[in-house]
Amino acid sequence: MPEGHTIHRLAARHRALFAGQTVRVASPQGRFAAGAALLDGRTLVDTEAYGKHLLHHFDDESALHIHLGLYGRFADGELPAPAPVGQVRLQLSGARHWLELRGPTACEVLDPALVAALRARLGQDPLRDDARPRLAYDRVVASGRPVFALLLDQTVVAGCGLIYANEVLFRAGLAPVTPGREIGARCWDELWDDLRALMKEGVARGRIDTVHTAHTPEAMRRAPRVDRHGGEVYVYRRTGQPCLICGTAVSRGPMAGRNLYWCPTCQPGSERP
């Protein structure tokens, strides 16, 4: 599933392509036909990302809400738009560009009250300037759940996914099994600031890189990481490989229904969950 930085990149791209334009909206697949009819001929005012949710705001105060889930993907290009191929849920075109959406978990039109309800159930998004990290901390410190699980909980931190959760905890030297109630305010502030910086870099670069300069392939004279997710990381999907800092084999285990990765030496107390 795309992490928050990908959704923020999409919001920025769609804003650049369509904001301020009257758009044509259709659903070649038919599953979004009623919603497309509501938006067709409207002006797309702005776009925004909140966690893993994408919102297109229109001039009648309605919003197109999209959650890509595991299989959703966008394509876009310059007009003329190609003939739809396959299961195209949404087709949108503006003055010079077209956009297609396939396979999303959610593609729906929301009124302002429903948009407000969506925001209310989400946690704080590190990539948003209006984020309030202390509200997230209030939920963290009130919980006995492991900090790894709390980072993945979208009602606590919106937009943080599996890669960022694993990597930011390694960079902090923090055991992923540490209960939220044991996380001090200063520790949380440092964790949040690092997560925000990493995710902002992800927006800028279009991939997730989490290693410090001293641990890049060039600096360490090692081969670049080969993985379909791309990017240089410390522990994510590096099970059994030597830690880039201490050389200890990276461990893996299940937690919160997801794969947890950690270094037993650099993250003391991370006994297998």
Give the active site residue among 3, 100, 167, 232. Answer: 3
- DSSP character at residue 214: G
> What's the rounded Cα separation, in Å, for the pair 201 and 198?
5
Q: Which residues contact 190 (CB under 8 A, 6 or more apart)?
A: 172
Q: How far apart are CA 262 and CA 249, in angstroms?
A: 9
Contact at 8 Å (CB) between 231 and 207? yes
d(CA 193, CA 47): 25
**57, 63 in Cβ contact below 8 A?**
yes
Q: Are 155 and 193 in contact (CB under 8 A)?
A: no
Sign (positive/negative) of CA torsion 8, 11, 13, 15? Answer: negative
Handedness of CA 262, 265, 270, 273 (dihedral sign): positive
> Is 52 in the active site?
yes
Whether 258 is a known active-site residue: answer yes
Catalytic residue flag (residue 100) = no
Question: Which residue among 132, 205, 207, 258 is the active-site one?
Answer: 258
Q: Is 190 a catalytic residue?
A: no
H or E segment and range at residue 201: helix 185-205
d(CA 151, CA 235): 16
Which one of 28, 48, 52, 145 is the catalytic residue? 52
| DSSP designation for 124 | B
Catalytic annotation, residues: 2-3, 52, 258
